[in-house]
Amino acid sequence: MDYTIALDKKESPAVTFNHILSAAKADSVVYTLVEKNVERKKVEDSFRLTSGNILLPEAVVEAYRMTPERKKTMEEYGKPDKVIEGKDIQAKEQKWSYGLFSVLMFNFPDKLIIRSFSGNLYAFVKRARATLLVIDGIPVNFDEYPSVANIPPNDVKSFEIIEHANNFLKLYLYVFPNADPRKIETPGEGAVIAIYTHSGKGIYGTNAAVGIAKAVIPVFSASREFYAPKYKNLQPQDWIKPDLRALVHWEPKLKTDSLGKASAAFYNADNTGEIKVVVEAISDKGEIGYKELNYMVKKKE
């Protein structure tokens, strides 16, 4: 039996369905199905928003990886007030950048002051009476400070600022062992800059020896490929397409025969003028050969 159900907009779905089912004497299976749908709709309507807005405020979840170096620094000097990730520093690095402090100087001036003394860059936390440095949880001696500015940005995992550091006087006397804690010029409070590197070995794990450059040599390099049209089985419409390639022929693997000879065949492009042929060779003994040839391509009369 077929049923046609019409709903009145003024009546709720529950009242309408119940009325129709009682009139049509539906079986128990249909009645149970409709009843469950009505209950589910009531639940959905009770949680439906009056508008399209989100009732809860936005929740931002941030992660801070607690490494042994960070744990050691935080237990000694406190939690950081500012964290600059190493990837953000690397993203700001320019071709003319000359070390970590040169990147920080131009891109993160809100918390830091970078000044030059005797040709070396030093970093200071704004509004701090004094600033000391710790790399991978290891305090940096004063005579090592000039080297910190030249740390390569790609060696930095994180750059963090502790504005009001704990145990600052203890760290200050370690950096300046000749300082007198009784004198007023000896700061009892200040800021600490904590730098974490990928090596985790402190200042001496970041600076490469003078005259040594880091480089990556690929063990495999795929042969370059250039477009070359296929002239076999040409169609009439192919003749009206201009061939204006700059590189007419490219053959990276051309082996000689037992007599030391090799040949190559190719089609010229539609460009006219002088064509240069460059041949590079290497023997099984590592001997290198190079030759340049030129020929002219003229328009057919």
180 and 263 co-located in one domain: no
Residue 106 near residue 96 (C-beta atoms within 8 A): no
Query: What is the number of structural domains in the chain?
Result: 3
Q: What is the extent of the structural domain holding 35?
A: 13-47
Name, in order, each residue with C-beta under 8 angstroms of 179's C-beta and a sequence gap of 6 or more: 172, 173, 186
Residue 300 has pLDDT above 50, yes or no: yes
* pLDDT tens column, 35-87: 777 777 776 665 555 555 555 666 665 666 788 888 899 999 999 999 999 99
Residue ranges with strand state E in the chain: 82-85, 112-117, 120-125, 131-135, 138-139, 156-162, 191-197, 273-282, 288-297
Alpha carbons within 13 A on the beta-carbon side of 77: 32
In a domain, 277, yes or no: yes
Residue 8 has pLDDT above 50, yes or no: no
* pLDDT tens column, 87-112: 999 999 888 888 899 899 888 888 88
Structure tokens at 129: 């009476």
Q: What is the dihedral of CA 41, 45, 47, 52, to 10 degrees?
A: 120
158 and 77 co-located in one domain: yes
- The predicted structure's pLDDT at residue 85: 92
Q: What is the dihedral of CA 30, 32, 38, 40, to 10 degrees?
A: -120
- The predicted structure's pLDDT at residue 16: 47
- The predicted structure's pLDDT at residue 79: 92
Nearest-angstrom CA–CA distance, 77 and 166: 4
* pLDDT tens column, 224-264: 778 777 777 777 777 777 787 888 888 888 888 888 888 88
In a domain, 60, yes or no: no
Mean pLDDT of 7-14: 44
* pLDDT tens column, 199-217: 888 887 765 545 555 555 5
In a domain, 274, yes or no: yes
pTM, 2 dp? 0.50
Nearest-angstrom CA–CA distance, 112 and 125: 5
Bridge partners of 297? Answer: 273
The phi and psi torsions of 252 (rounded to 5 degrees) equal -75, -20
188 and 268 co-located in one domain: no
* pLDDT tens column, 141-179: 888 888 898 898 889 999 999 999 999 999 999 999 888
130 and 21 co-located in one domain: no
In a domain, 210, yes or no: no
CATH number for the domain spanning 137: value is 2.170.130.10
